[in-house]
C-alpha cells in the first residue's frame, strides 16, 4: 500500500512538473501585430478562444508544406471556435509579398506580421529556444499554453494537437 501511495505521488509530481515547464502565453497576449490583410490585431482580444499559433516564413519549405493543412484545420474547426493564427517571421516592408503569398497559398486564417527580430524573441518567450521554423503553440480558452511543436506537423498531428483545446 505504501509503495502504491509513493508511486501515485511520484506520478502526480511528474505530471505537475511537466505542466510547470510550459511557458506563459502572456507575452503573446500583450502584443498588437499588423495583419497581412486588414487592420492590426490586439492579441489580447483573442483570449478565451482555442488558438493554434503558427510561426512561419515564406522562405521556409516546411512552413509552406504545412500551410494547406493549417487552412484545412481552420475550415474544419472554425465552428468549434478554433482560431489559427499565422505569424510571419518577416518585416512589414514585405507586406505586398506576404499578401501575394497568402493568396497563392489560400491562407484562410488570421495572418499577422511579427517582424524578424520581434518574432524570434516571441518564439523564445513561448518556449522555442532555438527559434526554428515552423513553430506552433496551442493555447487553450483559459489563455494557457497546452503544448508546442517545433517543426512541421502533418494533418493527423494537427488534429491530435487541437483536440485537447477544443
**Confidence bin at 21 (pLDDT 50/70/90):** confident
Average pLDDT over residues 41-60: 98
Q: What is the pLDDT of residue 9?
A: 36
- Give the integer Cα–Cα distance in Å for 46 and 121: 20
Residue of 137, 163, 122 whose CA lies nearest to 22: 137
Kindly tell me if the per-residue pLDDT of 80 is higher than 80.
yes
- Give the integer Cα–Cα distance in Å for 19 and 142: 14
Kindly tell me if the per-residue pLDDT of 11 is higher than 90.
no
Show the domain range for 78.
24-165
> Considering the domain boundaries, does residue 46 fall inside one?
yes
- Give the integer Cα–Cα distance in Å for 73 and 71: 5
Q: What CATH number is associated with residue 118?
A: 3.40.30.10
Q: How many CB atoms lie within 10 A of CB 75?
A: 13
> Considering the domain boundaries, does residue 10 fall inside one?
no
Tens digits of per-residue pLDDT, 90-130?
999 999 999 999 999 999 999 999 999 999 999 999 999 99
> Considering the domain boundaries, does residue 44 fall inside one?
yes
Average pLDDT over residues 38-44: 96
Residue of 65, 109, 69 whose CA lies nearest to 87: 109
Domain count, the chain: 1
Average pLDDT over residues 131-139: 97
> Considering the domain boundaries, does residue 9 fall inside one?
no
Kindly tell me if the per-residue pLDDT of 87 is higher than 60.
yes
- Give the integer Cα–Cα distance in Å for 58 and 75: 22
Q: What is the pLDDT of residue 20?
A: 53
Q: How many CB atoms lie within 10 A of CB 74?
A: 19
Average pLDDT over residues 53-58: 98
> Considering the domain boundaries, does residue 14 fall inside one?
no
Q: Is the dihedral of CA 65, 133, 52, 102 positive or negative?
A: negative
Q: What is the pLDDT of residue 7?
A: 36
**Confidence bin at 2 (pLDDT 50/70/90):** very low
Q: What is the pLDDT of residue 15?
A: 46
Are 145 and 127 contacting, i.e. CB atoms less than 8 angstroms apart? yes
> Considering the domain boundaries, does residue 17 fall inside one?
no
C-alpha cell at 150: 517545433
**Confidence bin at 23 (pLDDT 50/70/90):** very high
Query: Between residues 98 and 9, which one has the greater pLDDT?
Result: 98
Amino acid at each position: 500500500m505504501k509503495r502504491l501511495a509513493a508511486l501515485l505521488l511520484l506520478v502526480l509530481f511528474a505530471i505537475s512538473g511537466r505542466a510547470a515547464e510550459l511557458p506563459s502565453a502572456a507575452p503573446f497576449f500583450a502584443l498588437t501585430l499588423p495583419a497581412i490583410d486588414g487592420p492590426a490585431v490586439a492579441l489580447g482580444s483573442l483570449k478565451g478562444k482555442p488558438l493554434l499559433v503558427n510561426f512561419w516564413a515564406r522562405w521556409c519549405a516546411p512552413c509552406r508544406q504545412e500551410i494547406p493543412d493549417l487552412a484545412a484545420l481552420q475550415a474544419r474547426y472554425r465552428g468549434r471556435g478554433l482560431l489559427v493564427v499565422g505569424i510571419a517571421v518577416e518585416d512589414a516592408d514585405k507586406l505586398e509579398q506576404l499578401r501575394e503569398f497568402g493568396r497563392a497559398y489560400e491562407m484562410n486564417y488570421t495572418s499577422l506580421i511579427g517582424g524578424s527580430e520581434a518574432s524570434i524573441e516571441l518564439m523564445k518567450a513561448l518556449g522555442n529556444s532555438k527559434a526554428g521554423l515552423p513553430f506552433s503553440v496551442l493555447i487553450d480558452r483559459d489563455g494557457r499554453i497546452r503544448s508546442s511543436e517545433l517543426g512541421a506537423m502533418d494533418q493527423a498531428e494537427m488534429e491530435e494537437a487541437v483536440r485537447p483545446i477544443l
